[in-house]
Amino acid sequence: MAINPKIVKNIAWLLCEHGVRIVMGLAVTMILARVLSVEEYGNFQYILGLVVIFSALSYINPAEIVVPRLTNADAVERKIIMGNGFVIRFVSSVIAYLALLLFVFFTDDIKIFYLSVVMASSILVNEAFAIITAYLQSQTMIKYRSVLVMATHIIKLLMFLALYYLGVTNIYAYGFATAFELFLIAFGLLAVYRILTKEWFFTYDKAQIYKFLKLGLPFFAGIILMIVCRRVDFMFLKHLGDEFSLGLYTSAISLLTIATAISPIIAISFAPLFVYKFDDIKIIKSNVLKLAFGMFAMAILTAVTLYFLAPLVINLIFGAKFSGTIPVFKILLVVLPLIFLDEALNIYIIKMQLGKILIYKWVLVLLFSSLGYIVFIPKFLAYGTVIGYGLGYLVACLFGFCVMFKYTKINLKVKDE
């Protein structure tokens, strides 16, 4: 069966956007590492981590609910879905922003609070206007967003370069440029939607809002737990360690994120033909295990390569003052195979439609990783954070294997009967 050319183009645009995002992100990181101290860099990344965590409060109307309903919606239905979705997301975004500011106000000093006011302001528009991204996805017209995102990344880099060559070292200036990019994307998306549909979507209906809230709640808990698990390490290190260690760890984790970016792409690429098209539980299990082993082996080779390249890469990107990042990153590479393995094992959960079980998974991951952070960060600082981070992914992988064998037995028993 031939693949729809629009889908191929959609994927191509997403990959292009991803590539530009990585390149621009590295360039921005190189500038930040040279104008900020290690401590300031850590605080900068800490605020970005808080933005990710608290933004999860605005994911109560997720794409899983919106995109399918927009796919075949007429103009009237589209306005109802878009309008009510926007209201839900905007109100929850305001709550998320205020919650973040309250958290920082009571847990950090006033300088971090002011930085949060600036950098976290993007929460107010990011998810609310992402309802337009859902519309573009539903119509396989993601190229408009991709072009917009790539353009704003370039604008952000130009702003950073201008500040750098003007000798600006004020962290607030770079925080403003970071938030400004997301405001540009938000209002750019609004302009794109207006051009494509010739209409606005600013409307709401209480009955429809309650309906969408009810539909979104089953996804909400899992999404929040997953996002918190991925960024709670910054919070623990900030409050149980010191700012210098935070700078070393956040710089190391940013490199690891680039190295792991390919793992979901591999999983998504192989899953449809290698797993999803089969109904025989033995074949599904066998193919998931093969894919998991392959991704695990690939990650080990990647980790070994990066281990020897670490001094060169870190000195090139961050500079000499981040030399302490090298041993932290080398130890962090031990977690890389676990991240790839977890991505592969998730395919089984998706295939078997066990979405609700992910809530239990992320509860366990959050519990064990948090225990790791609490026990080891006071003793080993950045290295202790790596231990907690690795413990979380180890639990995630063990959970994935347990789910596979448990649900395989259940399904085989039903088949035999």
DSSP 340-399: HHHHHHHHHHHHTT-TTHHHHHHHHHHHHHHHHHHHHHHHHTHHHHHHHHHHHHHHHHHH
pLDDT of residue 411: 46
Q: Provide the angle, in degrees to the nearest 10, between the axes of the packed helices 5-35 and 143-165.
A: 10
pLDDT at 264: 75
Q: What is the pLDDT of residue 285?
A: 87
Q: Contact 377/214 with Cβ under 8 angstroms?
A: no
pLDDT by residue, tens only, the chain of 417 residues = 445 565 566 667 767 777 888 888 889 999 999 999 999 999 999 999 999 999 988 888 776 677 778 888 888 888 888 998 899 999 999 999 999 999 999 998 899 999 999 999 999 999 899 989 888 888 877 788 888 989 999 999 999 999 999 999 999 999 999 999 999 999 999 999 999 988 888 887 888 888 878 777 766 777 788 888 888 999 999 999 999 999 999 999 999 988 887 777 777 667 767 777 777 888 888 888 898 899 999 999 999 999 999 999 999 999 999 999 999 999 999 999 999 999 889 888 877 777 678 888 999 999 999 999 999 999 999 999 999 999 999 999 999 999 888 765 444 443 333
Question: Structural domain boundaries of the chain?
Answer: 1-240, 262-417
Place of tokens 């979705």: 85
Query: Residue 47's Cα: distance from chain center in Å?
Result: 15
The per-residue pLDDT for 148 is 92
Question: Residue 133 has which token pair?
Answer: 């991204």
Count Cα atoms within 13 angstroms, Cβ side, for 188.
18
Paired tokens of 173? 């200036």
What is the reported pLDDT for 408? 54
pLDDT of residue 335: 96
